[in-house]
Amino acid sequence: MSHSKAIFRNRMKESMTSPRLGVVRESMRKDPLLIKAPLGKARTRGLTLPGPDFTYGTSINSVSNGGVAQVLSSWNVQPRCEDSTQTLDFVSLNRNAVRSGLITSKELNRYRHQVGRTTAQNRASGRHRGGASRPPPVLPDVTFGVKNRPASPLADLLSYSYAHRWIQEQSSNQTSNQEHQVKPGRVAENRTSLLRKNRSLPVLQTPFSPPQWSQVPPALDTFRDPEARRRALQTHRSKYGVHRGRQAPRDTV
What would the pLDDT profile of 109-156 be if each residue is shown by its tens digit? 888 888 876 666 666 555 555 555 566 666 666 677 777 788 888 888
Average pLDDT, the chain: 74
Q: Tell me, what's the pLDDT at 149?
A: 81
Give the residue-averaged pLDDT of 187-215.
78
Say yes or no to pLDDT of 102 above 90: no
Check: pTM over 0.75? Answer yes or no. Answer: no
Q: Tell me, what's the pLDDT at 167?
A: 93
Q: Tell me, what's the pLDDT at 165?
A: 92
Say yes or no to pLDDT of 85 above 80: no
Residue 175 backbone phi and psi in degrees, to 5:
-65, -40
Among the listed residues 95, 137, 139, 102, the one whose alpha carbon sits nearest the alpha carbon of residue 119: 137
The model's confidence at residue 227, banded by pLDDT at 50, 70 and 90, is: very high
Q: Tell me, what's the pLDDT at 168?
A: 92
Cα gap 138→158, rounded to integer Å: 43
Give the residue-averaged pLDDT of 190-198.
84
Among the listed residues 25, 8, 10, the one whose alpha carbon sits nearest the alpha carbon of residue 34: 25
Q: What is the dihedral of CA 169, 170, 171, 174, to 10 degrees?
A: 120
Say yes or no to pLDDT of 80 above 70: yes
- Cβ pair 239, 246 in contact under 8 A: no
